[in-house]
Chain A
Amino acid sequence: MRRQLPLALCFIAGTFMAVQYFIPHPVVQDSYERLLSWLQTLLAFAFLLGTVSLIRMHYHKIRNRAEDRGYSWVTLIGLVAMIGLGFFHPEHNAPGGWFDLVFQNVQVPVEATMFSLLAFYIASAAFRAFRARTLEATLLLVAACIVMLGRVPIGDLIYEGIPSATQWILNVPNVAAKRGIMIGVGLGMMATALKIVLGIERAWMGGGE
């Protein structure tokens, strides 16, 4: 029963969500709306699950005196402080409130800085790793240089054909390759979905049986 019930629920819900698309009857559409509301509620629990998992992981690191437990302290203190500010400050949602102040002045610049570091690493990697060793690598390198120039205004000044060449690369070879990949991924997703709905793939239940 512990296995059959989730499998039956999965089969019924999966089949219904696929079939409802083709049945505009009000009863079916009402059930669809209800399922969407349930789905939203269920997905909200993912935040709770994530938070509990995060706390457990860092708690164990601190308890086991792991070498890098200092970071766990920072994570937990940050988590508790932000949750505290969000819950207990009376105007936590208003711009200028404590929560908003910490978010705008700590979280935003820190994350933006981390992402910006990518420019430095890309430049360093371009110098050290981007080699025209083979014909394929050379083609990739030439295409990358054209697109890099075509995506900035200086490309127009260097040669007026660069932006057009960039658009052609993006619209023709790029789209052709991406479509092939997307069709493959789409077919894979459909096959996996079918396997889950029909109970062939059961890893989501936490076991292989």
Chain B
Amino acid sequence: MNKYERMMNFDRRWIFLVIAIAVVIPFFAPLGLPIVVTPPVQRLHDAVEAIPPNDQPVLLSLDYAPATVPELEPMALAILRHSLQRDVNVVVMTLHPAGYGLAERAVTQVAEETGSTYGEDYCFLGFQPGISAVILGLGVNIRNVFPEDAYGTPLNQIPMMDGIRNYDDIPLAVTMAGSGIAEAWIYYANQPYGQDVAAGVTAVIATDYYPYLSSGQLAGLLGGMRGAAEYEETIQQHDKGVRGMDSQSSIHVLIIILIVLGNIAYFGASKRKRLAEREA
């Protein structure tokens, strides 16, 4: 077995070990790499910035499951911080059955940080099944879909919901999703009702949403942990997103190195094999 074949048969557990080290070390020794904000993130930031304080609320639908928490929760926290610190009211809900506890955790954490008051600055509507029916229903009347909030208080008794009937009273809806739920918001809220919709999605599916961004159907897009880091940069509050960027940088460089090494090994071994066949 020549050196190229040895490289190709490399025990993958060594790769796993190197990846683990490359992920963990930047958390203890941050590189502090600068974050450049891209236009899709800046557009979402500007859309939130354009909402007048103590007026109509942002609708934040945290439609993610535990699997995608590391990527999507930093985005949710950054947008919640941005909104509540500017006194922009926030209505939080979820369309994912496993999203209830996660949405509640995110909004409670930021509300405590910012000293926001439940019912006046933010409220939590909880979960409703039926993604398309719920999104369409919100365009008719929020109270038809969510007659009460997650804790059983009728929406009519929540001060910040006074005068909020449907999408006409919501300047921006933001969804955080690791699945097709973000697309459902475009299909059923943006298209029929003209609702401004922005999305935060996992890096794996972010490329799927660029057509909606260029067509204007999305008011902004956060893609993966990089999106969260950029949003944190726009509000100058670095948290999990920016912290994760150093690890992600090292992993991406490592994967490129592995691709190059894999190709060197493959073509080296192929060349040796051809030469050996010719000699034989």
The answer to whether residues A40 and B137 also contact, given A46-B129, A47-B129 and a CB cut-off of 8 A, is yes
Question: Does A100 reach chain B (CB closer than 8 Å)?
Answer: yes
Convert A21-53 into 0s and 1s, putting 1 for each residue whose CB lies closer than 8 angstroms to a CB of B: 100000001001100110110111011000000
In the assembled complex, the CB of A68 is this many whole angstroms from the nearest CB of chain B, namely: 23
Residue numbers in A under 8 Å from B97 (CB-CB): 47
Question: Does B214 reach chain A (CB closer than 8 Å)?
Answer: yes
Q: Are B226 and A43 in contact (CB under 8 A)?
A: no
Selected contact of B210 from candidates A110, A116, A152, A170, CB within 8 Å: A170
Interface on chain B toward A: helix, strand, loop, or mixed SS? helix
In the assembled complex, the CB of A76 is this many whole angstroms from the nearest CB of chain B, namely: 19
In the assembled complex, the CB of A120 is this many whole angstroms from the nearest CB of chain B, namely: 5
Q: Report how far A115 CA is from B150 CA in the complex, Å.
A: 28
Q: Which of B77-85, B115-123, B155-163, B261-269 is the interface stretch?
A: B261-269
Q: Are A152 and B249 in contact (CB under 8 A)?
A: yes
Q: Report how far A126 CA is from B19 CA in the complex, Å.
A: 12
Question: Does B253 reach chain A (CB closer than 8 Å)?
Answer: yes
Selected contact of B211 from candidates A107, A153, A179, CB within 8 Å: A179
Selected contact of A95 from candidates B35, B104, B250, B255, CB within 8 Å: B104
Interface size grouping (class) on chain A? 35 or more
Q: Report how far A128 CA is from B255 CA in the complex, Å.
A: 11
Convert B204-243 into 0s and 1s, putting 1 for each residue whose CB lies closer than 8 angstroms to a CB of A: 0001101100100000000110100100000000000000
The answer to whether residues A112 and B245 also contact, given A124-B16, A130-B262, A175-B214 and a CB cut-off of 8 A, is no
Residues of B within 8 A of A (CB): 8, 10, 12, 15-16, 18-20, 23, 33-36, 38-39, 65-70, 97-98, 101-102, 104-105, 108, 128-130, 132-134, 136-137, 140-141, 144-145, 150-151, 192, 203, 207-208, 210-211, 214, 223-224, 226, 229, 245-246, 248-256, 258-259, 261-263, 266
Residues of A within 8 A of B (CB): 21, 29, 32-33, 36-37, 39-40, 42-44, 46-47, 93, 95, 100, 103-104, 107-112, 114-116, 119-120, 122-124, 126-132, 141, 145, 148-149, 151-157, 163, 167, 170-171, 174-175, 178-179, 182
